[in-house]
Structure 1
C-alpha cells in the first residue's frame, strides 16, 4: 500500500512539474512583432486610382503559346507608364530587357551598400472563354465603382507594378533620396514562367555583378482567420516557395477486346497506383518556413493554442495531425500529390494498350525530385509502371533574422498596425525564384488584405480590389523603401 502511494505521489509530482514547466513556457513566449510607427505617407488617391484603372485597360495577356501575345498592348502599357510617372522617367535609369522586361535603377548615395529590388509583373492571365458575361464589370474596363477598381490585374499583379511606381513617384517628389541603389524590375511573362522576362533581367544583372540584399516580389498577403487561435489579421511573407514537379506514371501492354479482360488492366493498374499514393501521402513534418510561421504567431494566440505551440517539442505529433486535416495547412508541412490528367483508351469496347497518369507535386524545401520518384516507386510497388519525375525543387529559404525581413515587418506594421507579420512557405510559383541567384534573400509579399474569395478571383471571374487596399499597398512600398534606407 505504501509502495502504491509512493508511486502515485511520484507520478503526481512529475505531473505538477510538467504542468508548471509547460505553462511557464507558454507564459514566457514574447511577441516578435515590432511596434507600429504609423505611416505619414500621403498619396494623391484620386490620381493613383486613375492610374491603376487605366493600367487595367491594356490587355497585356500571357498565353501559353507565345505566338498569341499581342505586343502592341505591351507597347501601349509601357508608353502609359512613361506618361504617368514623369519624375521616375526623369530621375531613374530605365533599361528594357528583351524589349518588354523593365529595369528602373534609382541611384543611391552610398555605393558601399548592396541594392534592394522591388519586382512585380504586368502580364495577366486570359479571361476564360465563355465567362465574360459572368463579370459584374468588363474584365479590361478598369471600372471604378462602389470604392472598388475592377478588372484583370487588380490583384495579380498590376497592383504591384502601379503600387511600386506610385510610391517611388511620391518619394521623389517628396524629396526622398535613397542611401542604397533601389531597382524596380517588372516582368512581362510571369504567368507562363518568366523565362523571357524575369529570367533575362536576372541574367543581365548577374553578368554585371549586381547582388541584392533582398528582392521583394508578390506572394503572401494579409489574411484573416488563417491561424487557429489568432484573432488579428496575419500578414504572411513567403521566405521560400515550394518546388513544382510533374510525375508521369505509364504502363504499356497488350490490349484486346473488352469482352475478355484480364483481372488487372492497364487502366486498373494505373488507377490502383494513384489510389495507393493518395492513401499513403508524403509524411507531414512541421519544419522550415512552416515552423517559422507558428513561432511568429504563437505569442499572439489565445492561451490554449499558445500553450500547445510553446511546447511544440512535446505536442508536435498532435500539431501535425491537426494541420493535416485541412488541405491548406497540410500543404504547409508536406509535399503534395495532385493527380491532374489521366489518358487511356479510344473506344468503349477495346482495352487500351497504354495508360498514363500525370500528377502535380508541390515540393517541400529539402525534398528532391529523386525523393519524389523513390517515394512513388516504393508506394505503388509495381515494376511494370514506368515513373518519370521532372520539374524544379523548392527555392532557397531566406533569413528571418536580419534587417531585411525586419524591414518588411516594420513597413507592413506601419500601414497595418493590427496585423501580425510572419514568415511562411508559399505554395504557388512566382518570378522571385529567378532572383535567388543574385539576391541574398528573396521575399514574397503582396501588401493587401485579401479574403478566400479574393484568392479565387485572382485568376478567375470578377477580380477587383478596394481603393483602400490599393492605397495601403502604395504606402507599404513607400515604407519599405524608407525602412531599407534608414
Structure 2
C-alpha cells in the first residue's frame, strides 16, 4: 500500500516537473520578428497604376512550343520600358541577353561588397482556350476597375518587373545612392523553365566572375489564415524550392482478346503499383525549411499552439500527424506523389500489350532522385514494371541567420507592420533556381497580400491585383534596396 502511494507521488512529481518545464518553454520563447519601421515612401499612384496597366496590354505569352512566341510583342514591351523609365536607363548600365532577357546594373560606391540581385519575369502563361468569356475584364486589357488592375501578369509576374523599376525610379529621384552594386534581372521564358532567359543571364554573369550575396525572386506572399493559431497575416519567404521529377512506370507483355484475360493484366498491375504508392507515401518529417517556418511563427501563436511548438522535441510525432492531414501542409514535410498520366489500350475488346503511367514528384530538400527511384521500386514490388526517373532535386537551402534574410524580413515588416514574416519551402518552380549557381542565397517572395482565390487566379481566370497591393509592392522593393545598403 505504501509502495503504491509512493509510486503515485513519484508520477505526480514527474508530471508536475514536465508541466513546469514545458510551460516555461512556452513562456520564454522569443519573437523572431524585427520591429517595423513604417515606410515613409510615397509613390505617385496614378503614374504607377498607368504603368502596370499599360504593361499588361503586351501579349508576352510564353509557350512550350517556342515557335509560337510572338517576339514582336516582347520587343514592344522592351520599348515600352525604355519609354516609361528613361531615368533608369540613363543612370543604370543596361544590356540584353539573348535579345529579350534584360539586365540592369546600378553601380554602388563600395566595390568590396558583393552585389544583390532583384529578379522577375515578364512572360505570362496563355489564356486557356474556351475560358475567355469567363474573364470579367479582357485578360490583356490592363483595365482598372473598382480599385483593381486586371489581366495576365498582374500577379505573375509583370507586377515584379514594373514594381522593381518603379522603386528604382523613385529612389533615383530621391537621390539615393547604393553602397553595393544592385542588379535588376528580368527573364522572358520563366513559365517554360527559363533556359534562354534567367539561365543565359546566369551564364553571362558567371563568365564575368560576378557572385551575389543574395538574389530575390517571386515566390511566397503574405496570406491570411495560413498557419493555425496565428491571427496575423503570415508572409512566407521561400528559402528553397522542392525538386520536380517525373517517374515513368512501364510494363510490357502479351495482350490478347479481352474475352480471355489473365487474372493480372498490364493495366491492373500498373494500377496496383500506383495504389501501393498512394497508400504508402513517403515519410513525413518536420525538418529543414518546414521546421524553420514553425520556429518563426511559433512565438506569435495562441498559447495552446505555442505550447505544442515550443516543445517540438516532445510533440513532433503529433505535429507531423496533424500536418499530414491536409495536402498543403503535408507537402511541406514530405516528397509528394501525384499520378498525372495513364496510357494503355486502343480498343475496348483488346488487352493492351503495354501500359505506362507518369507520376509527378516534388522532392524535399535532401531527397535524391536515386533514393526516390529505390523507394518506388521497393514499394510497388513488381520486377516486371520498369521505373525511370527524370527531373531535378530540390534547390539548395538559403540561410535565415544572416543579414540577407533579415533585410528582406525587415523590408516586409516596414510595409506590412502586422505581418509575421517567416521562411518556408516553395512547392512550385521559379527562376531563382537558376541563380543558385552564382548566389550565396536565393529567396522567393512576392510582396503582396493575397487570398486563396488569388492563388487560383495566377494561372487561371480573372487574374488581378488591388491598387493598394501593387503600391505596397513598390514600397517593399524600395525598402529592400535600402535595407540591403544599411
- 1:37 partnered with 2:37: yes
Q: Kindly indicate whether residue 462 of structure 2 is the aligned counterpart of residue 462 of structure 1.
A: yes
> What is the TM-score when the length of structure 2 is the normalising length?
1.00
Aligned position for 1:78: 78
Alignment of 1:434-449 (within 5 A): 434-449=434-449
1:69 paired with 2:77, answer no
Give secondary structure in 2 for the equivalent of 1:438: coil
| Residue 352 of structure 2 corresponds to residue 366 of structure 1 | no
1:48 is displaced (CA, Å) by 0.3
Which residue matches 1:333?
Answer: 333
1:399-442 CA distances to partner (integer Å, 9 max, x unpaired)? 00000000001000000000000000000000000000100000
- State the distance in 2 between where 1:415 and 1:346 align: 58
Alpha-carbon distance between aligned partners in 2 of 1:79 and 1:157, rounded to the nearest angstrom: 18
| 2:105 is the counterpart of 1:93 | no
Residues 237-267 of structure 1: per-residue CA shift (max 9 Å, x gap): 0000000000000000000000000000000
Q: Deviations over 1:265-301 (max 9, x none)?
A: 0000000000000000000000000000000000000
Secondary structure of residue in 2 paired with 1:437: coil
Deviations 1:426-481, CA, capped at 9 Å, x for gaps: 00000000000100000000000011100000000000000000000000000000
Shift of 1:29: 0.3
The superposition leaves residues 111-158 of structure 1 with CA deviations (integer Å, 9 ceiling, x where unpaired) of 000000000000000000010000000000000010000000000000
**Residue correspondence of structure 1 range 355-394 to structure 2 within 5 A:** 355-394=355-394
Q: Provide the C-alpha distance between the structure 1 equivalents of 2:95 and 2:262, rounded to a whole number of angstroms.
A: 64
The CA deviation string for residues 187-225 of structure 1, in whole angstroms up to 9 with x for no partner, is: 000000000000000000000000000000000000000
Question: 1-side partners of 2:42 and 2:469: how far apart?
Answer: 14
Looking at structure 1, the residues matched to 30 and 113 of structure 2 have their Cα atoms a distance apart, in angstroms, of 32
Gaps in structure 1 of 5+ consecutive residues? none
Q: Which aligned pairs between 1:86-485 and structure 2 lie closer than 5 A?
A: 86-485=86-485
Q: Distance in 2 between matches of 1:213 and 1:45?
A: 32
**How many correspondences in the alignment?**
486
Could you say what secondary structure the match of 1:361 adopts? Answer: strand
Return the alpha-carbon distance in structure 2 between the equivalents of residues 468 and 305 of structure 1.
32
Q: Distance in 2 between matches of 1:106 and 1:154?
A: 26
Residue 373 (structure 1) shift: 0.2
What secondary structure sits across from 1:246 in the alignment? Answer: strand
Residue aligned with 1:282, SS: coil
**How far off is 1:170 after superposition?**
0.4
Cα deviation digits, residues 289-336 of structure 1 (max 9, x gap): 000000000000000000000000000000000000000000000000
CA RMSD of aligned residues (A): 0.3
In the TM superposition, what whole-angstrom CA distance separates every residue of 1:323-371 from its partner, at most 9, and x where no partner exists? 0000000000000000000000000000000000000000000000001
2:50 match? 50
Quote the offset at 1:90 in angstroms: 0.4
Matching residue of 2:24: 24
CA distances 1:370-393 after superposition (whole Å, capped 9, x unpaired): 011000000000000000001000
Separation in 2 of the partners of 1:28 and 1:257? 71
Q: TM-score with structure 1 length normalisation? A: 1.00
Task: Give the C-alpha shift of residue 19 in structure 1.
Answer: 0.2
Q: Name the CA distance, whole Å, in 2 between partners of 1:478 and 1:340.
A: 42
Distance in 2 (alpha carbons) for counterparts of 1:450 and 1:282: 31
Counterpart Cα distance in 2 of 1:437 and 1:464: 33
Structure 2 Cα separation of the partners of residues 175 and 137 of structure 1: 39
1:208 and 1:474 map into 2 onto residues whose CA distance is 30
Distance 2:62 2:185 in 1: 18
**2: CA distance, partners of 1:369 / 1:46:** 50
Q: Which of structure 1's runs of 4+ aligned residues deviate more than 2 A?
A: none
